[in-house]
Structure formats: C-alpha cells, structure tokens
Structure 1
Amino acid sequence: MSIKKHLTTAGIILASLSFSSGVLAENQVQDVIDESYVQPDYVLGYSLSETQKQETLRLLGYQEGKDIDLKTLNTSSYAKIMDVADDSSLQLYSSVKIKKLGASKTLNVNIVTPKNITKVTEDMYRNAAVTLGIQHADIEVAAPIPVTGESALAGIYYSLEENGAQVSDESKGLAQEELNALSDINQENQGKEGFDADKLNVALTDIKSAVAQAGKDLSKQDVQKIVEDTLNNYNLKSSMTENQINLIVNFAVNLSNSGVINNGDFVNTLSDLKDSIVSKANGNFKGIDLNFDANKAIEQGESIWQQIVDFFKNLIG
C-alpha cells in the first residue's frame, strides 16, 4: 500500500474516532445527570454575602442535612470555564439547582426570582441547555439582587464537570453564544411590535433541528436561507435588525460545523422543547405553520438549480 493510501486510511480512522468521541461526549452529559443527580446539586455565585447565600439557598429549596451537594462558582473556575481572564472584580450572583428528571419528562427550567434575572428567560436557558447536551433535567435559577442571569449557565457547566461530565469547549462556547444572542435580541426588542420571545425560542429550535438534519454539508448561504425562512414563518423577520439576524446565522453556521449535531437525541430533545413552549404560549402561535421545514426550501432550490444545469447541458450537448 502506498504512503498516500496509508495516510488516507489513517485519516478516515481518525475522523471516525473523532465523530464517535463527539457523540459519546454529548450523550455522556445526560448519562452523568441520570447517574449523579438523584440528589439535587447546588452551585452558588461567588459574590454572594453570607446572608445572601442563605437567602438564595432558601429560594432554591435547600434542605440542610439532606442535600449534600453544595458548590460555589468562584472567579477562577468561571474564567476557566468561559475561557476569559481571571478577574477578581467579576460579580457572580446567579445560582442554580440541578436535579435529575425521568427520561419521559421534558427539560424544565424555573427562574424562582424572575424580577431579579433581568436578561435571560427560562426558555433561553432551556435552548442553551439542549445545545449543551442536556435532554431532561430540572433546573432552578435564583439571584437575591437584580442581575442579567448569564453566569447561571456557567454554574451549570461547573456542576456537570465537577460531577464527571466531559463537556466539550465547543458545546460550552455554542451554548454561551446562543444564550448571548437570544438574550441580546430579546432585550433590544422589548415592546417592539411584531416581536415575540416565545416565537424566537421556537424558531431557534426549528433552525437547530434543520441544521442538524442537514448535516455538515451546508454552505453559509444554505444556513442563511434556513434562518431567514424560519424567521419569516414565525413572522419575526420584519421586527428584527440585520445585525440580530446575523447573530443567529453565525450561531447556526458554527453549530452546523460542530460535533453537537452528531448527538442522536439532539433533534428529539428540540422537538420536545418546541412542543413545551408552544403549549404554554396561550395561543400565540395561532395561524402559524408549526410543521414548517426549512430544509425543504433548500432542497427545492437545489432541484431548480439542477434543472437549470441540466437544461444548458442538453442545449450544448
């Protein structure tokens, strides 16, 4: 066998191993939750005073003597998780409680202090958690003072890794990118006619599903079409700026090139999340096609293009 063939074979083997390890890593997140979170795990923000800690634990339903898994996310751990410089001035107040849920249950997030989590909604946390590899769990978020709530996601990462889950940097980066995009867009469009946070969250479940089902062969133009067609379907595109749409496109492009979409349960979990959001939305989705498939538009476009190519081939030939 030639050197070239040896290298090609080795490349295929390495690619296969990489694919397998990516799938295992994402599935392993849920495996760790199922095995290690029978008792709830609590992660407190480093900046809480002693009084604030006790108040936060009370809000999260902590039972002293029964609940034993109590951690604190400090600035050093936060910096490592988020891949930023360790800065002692970082303010970490958002705290989380994570508990196992049965496999038949939908991923649940409850913000127990909604007035104090000013930027992130429950469904934004849920969307990001799915990208992280969580399929079903019960997550509660609390803060004793008004904060954005963005550091709570880092608390979830910290909890998972401390319990033995292998959360890839890629997954963490994508989940954080998604949370930042959703929360920024939602904040910028508060009170804007035609904008609806529920519809944006559902649109994102469709976008992620379409990208995952299409695989890694998508061009940026394909991803752009998936995003724009999906936002149009939910009557959101006209209320969003070009920059906001680009945030979603960039996230979707990064997702399409990642190992996250290799998780076989990813699309099913997104479908469950979508159904859950719609069922709680009090008729907000009336008249909207909830079976919309953005990939069909791409397939039709490719078919039309092929017909044009074939026409000219026949003309010349």
Structure 2
Amino acid sequence: MKVKKIVALTGLLSLTMLHLPVASADTNVQKVIDEAYVQPEYVLGYSLDQGQESQTLGFLGYDQTKDTKPLKTMTPAIYSTIMNVANDPSLQLYSSVKIQKLGANKPLEVKIVTPQNITKVTEDMYRNAAVTLGVEHAIITVAAPIAVTGESALAGIYYSLEDNGAEVPQENKELAQEELATLSGIHAENTGKEGYDENKLNVALTDIKSSVAKAKQDNSNLTEIEVRKIVEDTLKNYDLTKAITAEQVNLIVHFAVNLSNSGVITNSDFTKTLGSLKDSIVSKAGDTFKNINVNFDANQALAEGGNFLTNIWNAIVEFFKGLIGE
C-alpha cells in the first residue's frame, strides 16, 4: 500500500515540480552584426532562376556599385546543415533576405518588400523570432518573386550570421523556427475570425517571453503549470481567448516551456529588446490597444496564483505525514 502511494506521489511531483536546468547558450549574434554588417549582406534562395534572381535583388535594393560583399546562396545542402535536418535536393528555396547593421538606439526592423508573395509570415512575426535568435538591432529585408510561405527566410539569416562568425546555438535556431511556425500557423488559422488580431498576438508573445525570462530569473524552478498560467493570463489580457483554440494555446505553452529551459533568456538585453519590439507594434497599431492594459504583468498574476502550488505542496507534506503515521 505504501509503495503504491509513493509511486503516485512520484507522478504528482513530476507533474507539479519537474524542471530542467537552463542550458548555456551565450551568443555573439549582435556583436557580429555590429562588426560585419556595416555593408549589407544578401542571401538568395537556391531555386531562383537568373531572371528571378535579378528581380529579387532589385526588390532587396541591391546596388552592385556599393554592395561589394559576395552574394550568398541558400542551397538545400546548406539548409540541411544549418537546420540540422536531412538533405533534400528537391527542396524549393525562393525566400531571400538582406541583413544590415542598425544603430543601437533603433529597434529591430523587418521589411517584407513583396508582401503579396510572402503568404504566411508577417513582419512582426519575423521580428519576434529574430529576437529569440539573439538579434537586437538590425534591418532585415525579405523578398520572393513568387508566392511562398516565407518560413525558410530565417534559415538565410542563420547562414549569413554563422558564415560571418556568429555563434548561433542550435537551440536558438530551433526556438526561433518553432516560434515562427507557431505564430504563422495560428495567424493562418484565425485570420478573419472574430476576436482575433495579429498585433495583439505578437504583443502577447513579447509579454509571454519577457514574463518567462523574468520568472526564470526569480525562480529557477519554473514549472509547466506556471508557464501555462503566464500564457493563459496574457492571452486573456489581450482579449484573445475567444479566438485562440485550446490546441493553439498548447502550442504557445510548448514553445514557452522550451524557452524557459534555454539559455536564450539569460541574455541581459533579451527583455529590453522585447520591450522595444512591443512598443513599436503598439505605436503603429492605432486604436487596437485602446482598451487593453499594455502594462499587464503576468508575473504579478503568477505570484498571486502561487497559493495554488503552495496548496499542492501542503497536500504532499500531509501525504508524507500520513505515510509515517501508518
């Protein structure tokens, strides 16, 4: 009988208190951008034919008299290495990017110069993912000559950064890719749905990431239950709960848990960059946030909800007392 109870207790502890240590994932991404991208760098999709390549370079503002750095091409082989996936020679790569240094006092910028051809990813989604990657200040321009999802553009950024000496941990790349896929998927499924707003979703993500980073700093034992509370309370604050499905909430929670267990959040400028991103989204969104508390602090709500975990712990203590007394 006691053995059965102990097994049950072990399961309960796993659900409520399990956590993984933060991995070390220091990155020099911004330092490399500051030093190597005074002149812009271009990464072109492998699948572009000659005419499409010229057209794309025009979209990106390429000037061969000034832009003397060699052009880069994202091939399926490079993509497989960068993304740590199997090499697929049939992979179609059309999305192309330009990366350039930006002053430290200016927020991260992303410009999609062919919005009609980037069908799944928006500028602010790219910006959110780029912050997770470790980018703080840069101008990133995205273009494609035909309609594509745009999800592979991040791989072009990884390739350029690593080729210039940046140390981009695999977990950063995977997190940024997961975030982009999550955001773009939710956006595609909810566009036109009552109660959904892309700006609110992107701002909610900046708050969720900031809250997870701050909570992890205050409490290294951040649990999945606590991460879920941060996510759900933040989505509620931005009035997104009517539109976002339970499955979509789970995707965000999964990403946020992975983020909490990564070294990305240990970067001292991470929350500062997220704050700048949030402010720029809110400022351009007009009346979207008129009746929304943009100063919402999910960590405060988490602290107020701490009694829930305390009650669970007290129940565990009483359980042990019961075992001893038998």
For the criterion TM > 0.5, the same-fold answer is: yes
Q: Would you say how many aligned residue pairs link Structure 1 and Structure 2?
A: 294
**Corresponding residue number in structure 2 for 1:229:** 233
1:283 Cα deviation after fit: 1.2
Q: Deviations over 1:87-111 (max 9, x none)?
A: 1110000000000000000000000
CA RMSD in angstroms, aligned pairs only: 2.0
More displaced 10-residue stretch of structure 1: 75-84 or 222-231: 75-84
Q: TM-score, normalised by structure 1?
A: 0.89
**Corresponding residue number in structure 1 for 2:271:** 267
Query: CA 1:257–1:307 in structure 2 vs 1: closer, same or farther (change >3 Å)?
Result: closer
**Corresponding residue number in structure 1 for 2:6:** none
Q: Deviations over 1:99-131 (max 9, x none)?
A: 000000000000000000000000000000000
**Corresponding residue number in structure 1 for 2:201:** 200
The separation in 2 between residues aligned to 1:309 and 1:94, in whole angstroms, is 51
1:308 Cα deviation after fit: 9.6
The separation in 2 between residues aligned to 1:116 and 1:307, in whole angstroms, is 53
Q: TM-score, normalised by structure 2?
A: 0.86
**Corresponding residue number in structure 1 for 2:13:** none
Query: CA 1:309–1:91 in structure 2 vs 1: closer, same or farther (change >3 Å)?
Result: closer
SS at match of 1:138: strand
SS at match of 1:237: coil
Which stretches in structure 1 are left out of the alignment for 5+ residues? Answer: 1-14
**Corresponding residue number in structure 1 for 2:76:** 75
**Residue 279, structure 1, aligned to residue 296, structure 2:** no
Q: Deviations over 1:225-269 (max 9, x none)?
A: 000000000000111111111110000000000000000000000
**Corresponding residue number in structure 2 for 1:188:** 189
The separation in 2 between residues aligned to 1:256 and 1:58, in whole angstroms, is 41
Report the residue type matching 1:262 in the other structure: T
Q: Deviations over 1:22-57 (max 9, x none)?
A: 33x2xx100000000000000000000000000000
**Residue 300, structure 1, aligned to residue 304, structure 2:** yes
More displaced 10-residue stretch of structure 1: 61-70 or 174-183: 61-70
Report the residue type matching 2:234 in the other structure: T
**Residue 62, structure 1, aligned to residue 66, structure 2:** no
The separation in 2 between residues aligned to 1:137 and 1:123, in whole angstroms, is 14
The separation in 2 between residues aligned to 1:129 and 1:309, in whole angstroms, is 39
Which stretches in structure 2 are left out of the alignment for 5+ residues? Answer: 1-20, 322-326
1:83 Cα deviation after fit: 1.6
1:81 Cα deviation after fit: 1.2
The separation in 1 between residues aligned to 2:270 and 2:189, in whole angstroms, is 29
**Residue 42, structure 1, aligned to residue 46, structure 2:** no
Q: Deviations over 1:152-180 (max 9, x none)?
A: 01001011011110000000000000000
The separation in 2 between residues aligned to 1:172 and 1:47, in whole angstroms, is 23
**Corresponding residue number in structure 1 for 2:252:** 248
Report the residue type matching 2:301 in the other structure: A
**Corresponding residue number in structure 2 for 1:289:** 293
Structure 1 runs (4+) deviating above 6 angstroms are 307-310
Query: CA 1:29–1:305 in structure 2 vs 1: closer, same or farther (change >3 Å)?
Result: closer
State the identity as a percent: 64
SS at match of 2:295: coil
